[in-house]
Chains A and B, each alone.
Chain A
Amino acid sequence: MATIASTEPNETSGRARSGGLRLPPRSLVAYLQATPLLLILGFFFILPILTIIVVSFWDYDFAGLYPDFLAMNYADTLGSWVTWKTYLNTLKFTAITWALTLVIGFWVAYFLAFHIRTTTMQMVLFLVCTVPFLTSNIIRMISWIPVLGRNGLVNSTLVQLGIIPQPIEWLLYSDFAVVLAMVHLNTLFMVTPIFNTLIRIDRSLIEAARDCGATGWQVLWNVILPLAKPGMAIGSIFVVTLVMADFSTVQVMSGGQSASVALMMKNQMSLLQYPAAAANAVVLLIVVLLMVAAILSVVDIRKEL
């Protein structure tokens, strides 16, 4: 008690002294420090979104945009069965990609975190995972074409080995190809946060579980998986938002046979139907935000941040 009593006056006198130097109040300094970020976010994030929301209520025809306040764009978007079908298709891609990246991402991260003994090797292998990201999304996607095509690597190998009599048609320009490319492009976004949570799990927890008689699977199910949940949630947010907003993968890999919400918007924009695309964007934004909210309500990720 004596020490606490003696330090307190010191602290107040220290504060009084810094006041004597005529520094601006602490709260003002904090606001000043936050200003650059606020400006950047304001100009490049909040302003565009506000613009989109405003434009989504405007009127338009083939020639121009007319400032107005109409619910027409929303009525058109939500009233069309094409929209609903496209959303359903996008949600299907999202669900499949999410499930696959989660499973693959978890096992890759688990292998890196628990089976690689040295930190150096962990980092080396983790960097190897990121190597594909040194090329652009589009190039990585397009490079699937010679692999999956009718006379591509897979088909010609299988035919030459005599496993199949003729090339498989659904390898390329199909939902399969879309999901394959999406999983390929997005698994790393799952690996990274899960790896990050797994390497922070105290190894003595696993020993304690073993001491309590847990088998390998029981340790995985009762200790590692629950503790990896925040990483899985963060990875899920990445994957879900990226796949929901994807248009290039769907366009290239389905060969134009499948649609996604973002692809629908792109088409509307190429027809200069900006307000319709804006309304669509607002709806998509709300849907994605609801999905993120759902993920956050299931898993508490605050520990990770």
Chain B
Amino acid sequence: MSKAAEIDIASVSKVYGTTTAVHAISLKIPAGSYCCFLGPSGCGKTSTLRMIAGHESISSGDIRLGNVVVTDFPPAKRGTAMMFQSYALFPHLDLVDNVAFSLKMKGVEKDERRAKGLEMLTLMQMGAYAARRPTQLSGGQQQRVALARALITDPEALLLDEPLSALDPFLKIRMRAELKKLQKTLGITFVHVTHSQEEAMALADLVVIMNNGRIEQAAPPRTVFEKPATAFVARFMGDHNVLSGRVAAIDNDIVTLTAPEGQTFTVRDIAQEVGKPIDIGIRTDRVRLEPASERSLGFQGVVSNVEYRGASVKITVIGAGSDDFTVVVSDADYFRRPVSVGDAVSLSWALEDVIPLGRLSA
């Protein structure tokens, strides 16, 4: 297959009338990596993907693929191929003709293009269904055909718009593994748009979290999980509690902040100013249900919900200006000292588990 291309997005904006969907984002997607755009609906992730694909005009900025500026190129000239959310298979054509569609557009002879189409289908393990129409296939099968159609153009980058959202949960996980395997085999750049944190974490080499048309964080999954850059990322990824307050004191690199309800917390941070608003993140699985050794590493709250999850139990606590402070404890720990809704509990954590969260400057 062809070599992979680096995708370079340079302060790209998308403006629809008076609303700005994407605010001058810049991002480098390394060649041959699996990149996931993640964010809530309306965050601009799909617009960004469609701008890379060429199905949406770029209001300002440039997109480079490899060494070529493709900003004004039509989709087929960019060396990208797109897989659509609903797969967009042609209902009036059989699978071979669907896959060989781009060859037909190039004017390849019928026998030659049907042979190539069948070859590609066989590669995607769909050769046995070659004579069928798309409507006669299951969701997972349709996805394979859509992949075959996208890959027959020999693209440098494959763009996937929520490829797994139409599948049932079990199939989702299976197709996820297949996508990852395919990307490894082909070695080309994959750009995958999703709203599922789990999907992004499982697949990506580079997770790009977007919100309100801006990139909140672009980093490998482990970094996103362990060091979320902003309060939005920490909340959206769901593994951190976010506490907000104002900086009260700075002692060396220990910052003390005061929450709206008066509690104080400490965090290891640099370059802060007294009086400025600050957010901190605390991993949900590092919070313990016991009184804190230090007053600023815990608080007292009231249990508002308990969810049993098998290996762990998720407890939601109200307190310290947060109404959904989440504690995830192992089932063994929970059943040793169970709590129920309405109980007052003491929570505590270690200083190492507190992360300072930044704010977007823009």
Contact = CB atoms under 8 A, between A and B. Distances in A.
A1 interface: no
Contacts of B91: 227
Given A211-B75, A227-B91, A227-B92, A202 B149 contact: no
B341 interface: no
A218 B89 CA distance: 16
A212 B76 contact: yes
A202 B85 CA distance: 12
A212 B102 contact: yes
Given A207-B84, A212-B149, A218 B92 contact: no
A222 B103 CA distance: 13
Interface residues of B, number: 24
Contacts of B76: 210-214
A129 interface: no
Given A210-B75, A212-B153, A213-B102, A226 B92 contact: yes
Interface in B196-239: none
Contacts of B105: 209, 212-215, 218, 222
Nearest to B152: A212
B88 A212 contact: no
Contact of A209 (B53, B81, B101, B153): B101
Given A210-B74, A213-B76, A222 B84 contact: no
Interface string A193-209: 00000000010110111
A211 B53 contact: yes
Interface in A170-227: 202, 204-205, 207-215, 218, 222-223, 226-227
Contact of B88 (A208, A213, A214, A222): A208
Nearest to A229: B92
Contacts of B359: none
Interface string B2-38: 0000000000000000000000000000000000000
B106 A207 contact: no
Contacts of A218: 105
A229 to B, nearest CB: 8
A161 B277 CA distance: 81
Interface in B282-305: none
B181 interface: no
Nearest to A226: B92
Interface in B86-134: 86, 88-93, 101-102, 104-106
Nearest to A300: B92
A204 B101 contact: no
A214 B74 CA distance: 10
B180 interface: no
A208 B106 contact: no
Contact of A222 (B75, B82, B101): B101
Nearest to B155: A211
B55 interface: yes
B139 to A, nearest CB: 16
A208 B86 CA distance: 11
Contacts of B92: 226-227
Given A202-B88, A205-B90, A223-B90, A211 B106 contact: no
Given A210-B55, A210-B75, A227-B91, A202 B86 contact: yes
Question: Which one of A205, A208, A222 has the highest number of Cβ atoms from chain B below 10 Å of its Cβ?
Answer: A208
A198 B82 CA distance: 23
B13 to A, nearest CB: 21
A264 B279 CA distance: 90
Nearest to A203: B88
Contacts of B149: 208, 212
A15 to B, nearest CB: 29
A204 B104 CA distance: 19
Contacts of A227: 91-92
A202 B88 CA distance: 8
Contacts of A212: 76, 101-102, 105, 149, 153
Contacts of A204: 84-86, 88
Nearest to A206: B88
Interface in B148-177: 149-150, 153
A208 B90 CA distance: 9
Contacts of A223: 90
Interface string B59-92: 0000000000000001110000110111011111
A208 B82 CA distance: 8
Contacts of B84: 204, 207-208
B101 A205 contact: no
Given A205-B88, A207-B88, A208-B89, 4 more contacts: A204-B86, A207-B84, A210-B76, A223-B90
Interface of A: 202, 204-205, 207-215, 218, 222-223, 226-227
15 contacts: A208-B84, A208-B88, A208-B89, A208-B149, A209-B105, A211-B150, A212-B101, A212-B102, A212-B153, A213-B75, A213-B105, A213-B106, A215-B105, A223-B90, A226-B93
| Leading 6 A-B pairs by shortest Cβ distance | A213-B76, A212-B102, A208-B88, A204-B88, A226-B92, A213-B105
